[in-house]
């Protein structure tokens, strides 16, 4: 039994499920046995990509009732994540759910309450994509071992380029009721998951003061990729230890893409990044030697491989099920992550610092 692959049902056969599909064909402990999508054509296409899946269900409840399904990968628009995750847990299935995990912290708590009734079932959010990347692992180990001394500041800035001309987006992405918001929900969970993973126990957000908005609102002609929802955010997160995190993301501005993460401690500093940037060292360490010479050292690292990063959450959930251990991103992590997003939304509205609900 231990050698049998974990049998997945995929709910939602859109863009990301098609990227993920190859993990089920690589023979590394997981296989896809069923697909559900309200769009039969999309389901049939994914069935081929995921290794010749035979069972296709129009209604995901039928997939959940299938005894051959051990775990589900939920890759539907965000407003469906909570009902689908709860239904899956009640049907006895482990869950990998796409990001944003939920629409707010209250929804995470609802899922958490249900999971507590079935503690043998694992739940993981796919925001955990880079947990296996060499530079994130090394940075995490350095923070955990206090190699930088007491960490007092992190600056996390991501500026992404403009989408290619002609890019079209599904309508749910432009609808806060279905997507939560824009950039805050699309990329915020990745950022906060990275910070939570690398900072470990230091990521205990207490207060958020921030803003969000849209420099490029949808034009009268409604030409994508401009959006009605938010397209940038900038916030200060103050943690329990006093650590301050400057957290910002912008897109499609008149300037180059930039992915910079700076960690600063009382004994040393570390620069790293989130997305692949082959022209930059993955880990650059700084420390004063004596009082006036700043020593800069490029540390050996394994650059992120995004093919692996995309499929990592399935590999991680599969390993967590087999080893009967907690997955690398827990429901408690998601309570904190959504607590920060909720606080950012309130802070942006009220222009006040907002306490994170813990």
Ligand X SMILES: NC(=O)c1ccc[n+]([C@@H]2O[C@H](COP(=O)([O-])OP(=O)(O)OC[C@H]3O[C@@H](n4cnc5c(N)ncnc54)[C@H](O)[C@@H]3O)[C@@H](O)[C@H]2O)c1
What angle, rounded to 10 degrees, do the helices at 81-90 and 105-117 form? Answer: 10
Q: Which of 78, 182, 231, 313 binds ligand X (CB under 6 A)?
A: 78
Minimum Å gap between C-beta 334 and ligand X is 14
60 forms part of the interface with ligand X (CB under 6 A):
yes
Region of 180 on the Ramachandran plot (φ > 0 left; ψ -120 to 50 alpha; else beta): left
Which of these ranges, 34-42, 85-93, 205-213, 343-351, lies near ligand X under the rule CB under 6 A?
34-42
30 forms part of the interface with ligand X (CB under 6 A):
no
Q: Which of 5, 16, 287, 308 binds ligand X (CB under 6 A)?
A: 16
Number of residues that bind ligand X (CB under 6 A): 22
Within 256-336, strands assigned E span 258-265, 269-272, 284-289, 293-298
Minimum Å gap between C-beta 225 and ligand X is 13
335 forms part of the interface with ligand X (CB under 6 A):
no
Which of these ranges, 33-41, 153-161, 212-220, 299-307, lies near ligand X under the rule CB under 6 A?
33-41
> How wide is the angle at C-alpha 100 spanned by C-alphas 122 and 317, nearest 5°?
25
42 forms part of the interface with ligand X (CB under 6 A):
yes
Q: Which of 6, 13, 212, 314 binds ligand X (CB under 6 A)?
A: 13
Which of these ranges, 11-19, 160-168, 298-306, 319-327, lies near ligand X under the rule CB under 6 A?
11-19
Residues in the chain: 358
Which of these ranges, 12-20, 139-147, 218-226, 327-335, lies near ligand X under the rule CB under 6 A?
12-20
- Classified as helix, coil or strand, 36 is strand
What angle, rounded to 10 degrees, do the helices at 188-199 and 134-144 form? Answer: 50
Which of these ranges, 13-21, 199-207, 241-249, 286-294, lies near ligand X under the rule CB under 6 A?
13-21
Q: For residues 63 and 154, which CB has a smaller minimum distance to ligand X in the complex?
A: 63
Cis-peptide into 225, omega within 30 deg: yes
Q: Print burial letters for 217-250: b (CB count within 10 Å at least 16), e (below 16).
A: eeeeeeeebbbebbbbbbbebbbeeebbbebbbb
Instruction: Output phi, psi for 285, to 5 deg.
Output: -105, 140
Q: Which of 47, 49, 75, 121 binds ligand X (CB under 6 A)?
A: 75
Please state the separation of Cα 84 from the chain's center in Å: 18
List interacting residues with ligand X (CB under 6 A).
11-17, 36-39, 42, 60, 75-78, 80, 98-99, 170, 186
């Amino acid at each position: 039994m231990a050698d049998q692959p974990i049998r997945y049902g995929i709910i939602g056969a859109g863009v990301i499920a098609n990227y993920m599909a190859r993990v089920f064909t690589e023979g590394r402990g997981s296989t896809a046995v069923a697909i559900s999508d309200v769009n039969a054509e999309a389901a049939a296409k994914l069935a081929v990509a995921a290794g010749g899946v035979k069972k296709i269900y129009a209604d995901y409840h039928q997939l959940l009732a299938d005894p051959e399904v051990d775990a589900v990968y939920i890759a539907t628009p965000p407003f469906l994540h909570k009902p689908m995750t709860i239904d899956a847990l009640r049907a006895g299935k482990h869950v990998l759910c796409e990001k944003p995990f939920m629409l707010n912290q209250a929804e995470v708590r609802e899922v958490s309450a249900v999971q507590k009734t079935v503690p043998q079932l694992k739940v993981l959010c796919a925001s955990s994509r880079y947990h296996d990347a060499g530079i994130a692992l090394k940075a995490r180990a350095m923070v955990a071992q206090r190699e930088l001394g007491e960490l007092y500041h992190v600056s996390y800035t991501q500026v992404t380029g403009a989408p290619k001309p002609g890019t079209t987006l599904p309508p749910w992405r432009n609808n806060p009721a279905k997507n939560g918001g824009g950039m805050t929900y699309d990329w915020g969970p990745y950022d906060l998951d990275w910070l939570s993973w690398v900072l470990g126990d230091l990521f205990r957000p207490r207060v958020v003061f921030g803003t969000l908005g849209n420099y490029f609102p949808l034009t009268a002609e409604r030409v994508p990729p401009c959006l009605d929802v938010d397209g940038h955010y900038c916030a200060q997160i103050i943690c329990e230890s006093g650590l301050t995190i400057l957290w910002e993301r912008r897109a499609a501005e008149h300037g180059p893409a930039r992915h910079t993460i700076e960690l600063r401690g009382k004994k040393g500093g570390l620069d790293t990044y989130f997305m692949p940037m082959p022209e930059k060292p993955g880990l650059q360490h700084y420390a004063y030697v004596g009082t006036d010479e700043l020593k800069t050292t490029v540390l050996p690292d394994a650059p992120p491989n995004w093919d692996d990063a995309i499929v990592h959450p399935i590999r991680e959930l599969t390993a967590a099920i087999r080893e009967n251990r907690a997955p690398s991103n827990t429901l408690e992590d998601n309570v904190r992550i959504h607590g920060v997003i909720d606080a950012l939304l309130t802070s942006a509205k009220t222009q006040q610092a907002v306490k994170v609900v813990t």
